[in-house]
Amino acid sequence: MKNIQILFIAFIISVGTACRKDFLDIEPKGKFIARSITDYDQLFQNTTLINTGTSPANAQVPMGDEVAVIDPFFVGAQLRTQRLFRWEDRVYNDDEDAFEMLAIMPQLYTYNKIINEVMNAEGGTLEQKEALRAEGRANRAWAMFMLTNYYGAPYAESSANTDLSIPLLVNADVSQNVFERATVSEIYNFILQDLHEAIPHLPVNPPLRTRMSRAAAEALLGKVLVFMGRYEDAFAALDMSFGHLPTTFVTQLYDLNVTMALGGTWGYDPNRALASFQSLYPPAWNNIENLFPKQHGLAGWNSELSDILLSPEALKLFSRNDQRLKFFTPQPSGGGAFALNTLRRRNSGTQAQFGVRLAEMYLLRAEAAARTGRLDKAVQDLEALRSKRMPIAEARVSLLDQSALVKFVIEERVREFALQGQRWFDMRRLSKDPLFSNTIYTHSYYGANGVIKEQITLRSERLTMRFSEKVIAENPGMKNNP
């Protein structure tokens, strides 16, 4: 009964918060006073910490440049979807909450509570308390990283000290009602500090996949450093993470040549998949490629909706026998045909898995290796992943030019994470990279006849989202993004 009560109150802390009139929006509808080391440990045993939002918490998906839309499906899409696809300044109406904050902010409250209180918990050893505090810090680093990639300027060393990010929230205090935005430099330095302080106290072998491991925190550190352009440091962190992979549960790449084969272990059925969808890969907490399970909803873009599609340009990036193409169908949901036959609907999975994944670890280390001149190592990591996604003959990478290899890694990220929400975050960081800084990002809106009726070009201002008008109205004096 005690454990049920703890889990229930933790759930209330995480989601029962819609009426709070301040930036935190997390006032608990119940009273939970954690006392023992077990109480604080149980706060992590909460599936709401895995989910980064209900199905609308996915703004980055329509903003990636690998997507396209076509009528009659897009004309009936939700207004929010249309605004995101057009990279409009205003996404939410005056009275609407931003879905991107509704799940992460309560999670941040929980992590801060653990970090600030667990060292005074009853019972337990110093080592146990430090491990729980470290787990809170690593999770907080992830939450901050997500929020700054929504609302903070992309990291650039030359301007990070003046560019604005999110408020630096380090207290579990629902009474706080004055917030000032920190700089991008302050947020990233705080994230790095959290991870550096957490890693020595995290277990190599946590009991569950849903609990933070040392390898997961090191991989997250590597990703943050890649986003900062610190590729030498990123390579070292990612290399360490591969050396600390947990053995208490299976951690390995799925071989899609097996799982996605006709009659394979995931039950792929091309006939059923054409007009409908299949779950195929396991949920985040059972996915053997996950070291740190996080997932967000896709508003039906992986299943019953046909309003956000893979673009013809992105489709051309896939080789003929790439098994990842089986995650897509040339038919709209329910059957029929698109007026343009090079559009593809994603038809697998109802959640995008967005934490620390082994596939991304390979790609991040490959990128860091390529950027630091370790071309052989970059090719090795690319082929290790690609050999699990397509036949060996197609998986080979023969590029020897450094810039071409870096660009190939970025294209591989599109292939691996198409319509899963990674691309817009990559577009943000690459906008500060001389190798990609002149890239012009566009969206094509096709009419019902298959001809482009509108082409939208991304403005640099929309490499960050604006805070919703509701947040700004309830926090007078907090500056919004342009």
- Separation of alpha carbons 169 and 84, rounded Å: 27
Whole-prediction pTM: 0.92
In the chain, where the domains are located: 2-253+355-474
**Least confident span in 18-22, 126-130, 151-155, 403-407:** 18-22
Answer yes or no: are the C-beta atoms of 348 and 279 closer than 8 Å: yes
What pLDDT sits at residue 6?
A: 33
pLDDT band at residue 8 using 50, 70 and 90 as cut-offs: very low
* Bridge partners, 67 (sequence order): 310
What pLDDT sits at residue 325?
A: 96
**Cα dihedral 125, 128, 132, 137 sign:** positive
Topology, domain 2-253+355-474: 1.25.40
Backbone angles phi, psi at 346, to 5 degrees: -75, 130
Residues 319-344: pLDDT tens digits? 999 999 999 999 999 999 999 999 99
Residues 53-85: pLDDT tens digits? 555 558 999 999 999 999 999 999 999 999 999
Rounded to a whole number of angstroms, the distance between the first and last alpha carbons of the chain is 50
pLDDT band at residue 221 using 50, 70 and 90 as cut-offs: very high
Answer yes or no: are the C-beta atoms of 318 and 80 closer than 8 Å: no
Residue 457: in which H helix or E strand, if any?
strand 452-457
Angle between helices 358-371 and 231-243 (to 10 degrees): 140
- Separation of alpha carbons 359 and 292, rounded Å: 12
- Separation of alpha carbons 216 and 43, rounded Å: 19
**Can the peptide bond before residue 72 be classed as cis, meaning omega within 30 degrees of 0?**
yes
Answer yes or no: are the C-beta atoms of 209 and 203 closer than 8 Å: no
Q: Is the predicted pLDDT of residue 160 greater than 70, yes or no? A: yes
- Separation of alpha carbons 474 and 464, rounded Å: 20
Q: What is the mean pLDDT of the chain?
A: 90
Q: Which two tokens stand for residue 167?
A: 């408020």
Q: Is the predicted pLDDT of residue 253 greater than 70, yes or no? A: yes
Structure letter (DSSP) for residue 344: B
Strands (E) located in 341-416: 345-346, 351-353, 356-357
Q: Is the predicted pLDDT of residue 23 greater than 70, yes or no? A: no
Answer yes or no: are the C-beta atoms of 107 and 49 closer than 8 Å: yes
Place of tokens 């792929």: 268
